[in-house]
Structure 1
Amino acid sequence: MSKLDLDGQLWRFALEFYALPSVAEACLTLQDEAQLDVIQLLAAIYADLVLQQPFSLQDVAELKRQTVEWRGATVLPLRDIRRFLKPPRDGFPEERQLLREKVKAAELLAEQIQLAMTEQWLGRRPPGPGLQMREVLGLLLVKDDAAGISRNERALDIALSALETAMNLVIRNYDSKGNYIGE
């Protein structure tokens, strides 16, 4: 694998999109309520809006396959550690907060690497017909109710609506070639 561009277009898009009103809350709701991989979500939105190459069913499956090992070995364990260290705990030193901040930075770097890996994959992906964004989002959501995943359908609908609103804002900021033109 060639050297990754950690500050690539997908990373910059992810930062800008995530900062839009209600997007962070929507992403965290989808992450916590439906085990959605926010990195995959951002890549799908980027492919659809900026590259104007929406994902197909095969693309979603390939994206999941491409990222599952990295996410499982780095992002998720770091997130679990960061969340474990958040509340004050008896017997834990005050320095746990310092450790939590370092773990949080490592988690962000792991996500940045996953985005860079995904951007490389996007560059190799052949163009073709794709699905509507809501269909892609549905495919990205974990649907394993047997595992006891609690789902708040209303929260998921609100989150998806917030993302759609943000996506409509973004559409106005890119030209037909995917170049950022601003407001």
Structure 2
Amino acid sequence: MSSDLWSFALAVYARPGVEDACLRLQSAGSNVCLMLCGLWLEQRDATCDEVRTRQLQELTIPWDKEVVQPLRAMRMQWKNLADTDPVLKGMREQIKGLELEAERALLSRLEGVAQGWKRNSKESSDWLELLAGPAANLNRDALQVLRVAATGA
């Protein structure tokens, strides 16, 4: 298992079925970086509680809304035009790179908050369920794909 969150996230995301599972969860309202952080915390056997969950969400939500989502929206908006315009295609790739850097920065911040978290009670370490929010009920199979992929990362 990778010790840092970024390496762990890359290893998990590269496994079969994970990209599709993440995109399904994302389209249902979950944040992929938060899901990957949740998997990382489960692998580290860190206790999951409401205070810690709220800390992660309070860090993620504004960064996602103000930085990641606008970059993603622009990249998606240019998708069809970029197929016929090589200059725009290059610019779209640059935006994709910025979007990835924004996600990397978020994962780094999440790791910074959670780095020292250990198991501190007999409470659950089921981060994925809590962090997926309402999307968890609609995408149980996607959550399972992520859990299986994380065991091999």
The residue identity in structure 1 corresponding to 2:31 is D
Q: Residue 83 of structure 1 corresponds to which residue in structure 2?
A: 76
Q: Pick closer, same or farther for the CA change 1:152–1:9 going to 2, 3 Å.
A: closer
Indicate whether 1:29 and 2:29 are aligned. Answer: no
Q: Residue 39 of structure 2 corresponds to which residue in structure 1?
A: 45
Structure number with bigger Rg: 1
Q: Give aligned pairs, total.
A: 149
1:44/1:54 contact within 8 Å kept: no
The residue identity in structure 1 corresponding to 2:10 is L
CA distance in structure 1 between the partners assigned to 2:137 and 2:76 by the alignment: 21
Once the 2 structures are TM-superposed, how far is the Cα of residue 132 of structure 1 from its aligned partner?
4.5
Query: Over residues 43-65 of structure 1, what are the superposed CA-to-partner deviations in whole Å (9 max), with x where a residue is unaligned?
Result: 1111111x221422221111001
For structure 1, list consecutive stretches of 5 or more residues without a partner in the other structure. Answer: 1-7, 145-150, 171-183
The residue identity in structure 1 corresponding to 2:107 is L
**Bigger relative contact order, structure 1 or 2 (CA pairs below 8 A, ≥6 apart):** 2
Q: Residue 7 of structure 2 corresponds to which residue in structure 1?
A: 12
Selected match of 1:162 from 139, 145, 149:
145
**Normalization by structure 1: what TM-score?**
0.71
The residue identity in structure 1 corresponding to 2:16 is P
Q: Pick closer, same or farther for the CA change 1:127–1:168 going to 2, 3 Å.
A: closer
Selected match of 2:107 from 112, 115, 118:
115
Once the 2 structures are TM-superposed, how far is the Cα of residue 126 of structure 1 from its aligned partner?
6.2
Once the 2 structures are TM-superposed, how far is the Cα of residue 125 of structure 1 from its aligned partner?
4.1
CA distance in structure 2 between the partners assigned to 1:74 and 1:165 by the alignment: 30
Q: Pick closer, same or farther for the CA change 1:162–1:87 going to 2, 3 Å.
A: same
Q: Please tell me the root mean square deviation across aligned C-alpha atoms, in Å.
A: 2.5
2:45 alignment partner, SS class: coil
Give identity over the alignment, percent: 29
**Normalization by structure 2: what TM-score?**
0.84
CA distance in structure 1 between the partners assigned to 2:118 and 2:149 by the alignment: 27
For structure 2, list consecutive stretches of 5 or more residues without a partner in the other structure. Answer: none
CA distance in structure 1 between the partners assigned to 2:77 and 2:20 by the alignment: 20
CA distance in structure 1 between the partners assigned to 2:125 and 2:115 by the alignment: 21
The residue identity in structure 1 corresponding to 2:80 is P
**Which has the larger share of helix?**
2
